[in-house]
């Protein structure tokens, strides 16, 4: 039971980091991305590849994963963030589809469809972290650092600039804000921390393949943000807790046919999101309406 709860805690921490990073660009800058799982995956593959071939030190794999994911975000941001709204959504969707193909075909780096197997556990100053309870503490610290970083950013002038851009790009530009640069930097920061979450995820599971980084994952992360509360600091964490705990809670309902649990979960997800959008569009911890 202890390991089960620690395992759930690790996943909640990892997905909370992802939801916070997406909320930073979606909730504060108004950038709707369907490619967040790509930055997550690039970080995971970078961390896994380095751990398998060079070093599993946390001082090696986390910075490398963050830099790689941030660099990829620039390839998306520089040509596309000069356009608005649905055009960026379409571009991010294209990147998501392209990335899945590359993850599948770039076999020497990603292991192809079989993925990377036997990834060594992360090590901190020579001590390997492989127990779920120990790894939970590592991810909890990573989550706390993420919360602190984005908490400082949203309260800074940079955060105020993001909100100004979200409310009106034209007005922000008229007041002298460099809109493309601010949006590009925000996406790079978001992608870097998503890459960190990916490296932790790969180290914890010791196995990754393309199925963890497909469009479904991007949609799941976006659902966590929307359900928890877009543009709030605690909302993404609440969304991650709800969406990751619900499947486990449903599986304990013995009166439900176990063979249909997956379908029942999808029905409950769909009905819950519909009702939430109808009666509380700001999310669980957000404002009641927009």
β-strands 207-208, 123-124 pairing: unpaired
Assigned token pair, 24: 């930073």
Assigned token pair, 248: 């486990």
Query: What's the gap between Cα 27 and its chain centre?
Result: 14
Q: How far apart are CA 120 and CA 25, in angstroms?
A: 32
pLDDT band at 231 (very low <50, low <70, confident <90, very high): confident
Q: How far apart are CA 38 and CA 191, in angstroms?
A: 9
Question: How wide is the angle at C-alpha 174 spanned by C-alphas 171 and 179, nearest 5°?
Answer: 80
pLDDT tens digits along 99-130: 999 999 888 889 888 899 999 999 988 888 88
Asked if the structure places residue 221 within a domain, the reply is no
Question: How wide is the angle at C-alpha 211 spanned by C-alphas 122 and 38, nearest 5°?
Answer: 75
Q: What is the mean pLDDT of the chain?
A: 86
Taking a C-beta distance cutoff of 8 angstroms, is the pair 190, 17 a contact?
A: no
pLDDT tens digits along 168-194: 878 888 888 888 888 889 999 999 999
Asked if the structure places residue 233 within a domain, the reply is no
Q: Which domain holds residue 9?
A: 1-212
Higher-confidence residue of 85 and 98: namely: 98
This model's pTM is above 0.75: yes
Nearest alpha carbon to residue 250 among 261, 239, 235? 261
Q: How far apart are CA 28 and CA 186, in angstroms?
A: 10
How many domains does the chain contain in total? 1
pLDDT tens digits along 237-277: 999 998 888 777 776 766 666 667 677 777 777 777 778 77
Give percent of the chain above pLDDT 70: 92
User: According to the model, what pLDDT value does residue 84 have?
Assistant: 64
pLDDT band at 12 (very low <50, low <70, confident <90, very high): very high
Asked if the structure places residue 264 within a domain, the reply is no
């Amino acid at each position: 039971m202890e390991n089960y709860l620690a395992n759930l805690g690790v996943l909640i921490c990892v997905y909370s980091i992802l939801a916070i990073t997406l909320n930073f660009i979606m909730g504060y800058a108004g950038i709707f991305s369907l490619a967040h799982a790509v930055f997550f995956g690039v970080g995971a593959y970078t961390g896994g590849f380095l751990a398998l071939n060079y070093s599993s030190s946390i001082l090696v794999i986390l910075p490398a994963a963050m830099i790689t994911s941030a660099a990829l975000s620039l390839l998306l941001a520089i040509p596309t963030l000069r356009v608005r709204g649905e055009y960026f959504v379409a571009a991010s969707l294209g990147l998501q589809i392209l990335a899945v193909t590359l993850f599948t075909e770039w076999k020497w780096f990603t292991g192809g469809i079989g993925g990377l197997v036997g990834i060594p556990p992360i090590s901190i100053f020579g001590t390997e972290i492989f127990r779920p309870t120990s790894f939970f503490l590592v991810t909890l610290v990573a989550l706390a650092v993420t919360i602190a970083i984005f908490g400082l950013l949203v309260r800074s002038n940079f955060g105020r600039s993001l909100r100004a851009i979200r409310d009106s790009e034209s007005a922000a530009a008229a007041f002298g804000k460099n809109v493309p640069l601010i949006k590009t930097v925000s996406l790079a920061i978001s992608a870097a921390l998503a890459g960190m979450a990916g490296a932790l995820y790969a180290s914890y599971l010791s196995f990754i393949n393309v199925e963890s980084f497909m469009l479904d994952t991007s949609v799941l992360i976006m659902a966590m943000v929307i359900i928890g509360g877009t543009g709030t600091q605690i909302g993404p964490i609440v969304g991650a807790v709800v969406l990751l705990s619900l499947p486990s809670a449903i599986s304990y309902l013995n009166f439900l046919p176990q063979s249909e649990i997956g379908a029942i979960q999808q029905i409950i997800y769909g009905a819950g999101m519909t009702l939430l959008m109808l009666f509380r569009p700001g999310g669980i911890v957000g404002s009641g309406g927009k």
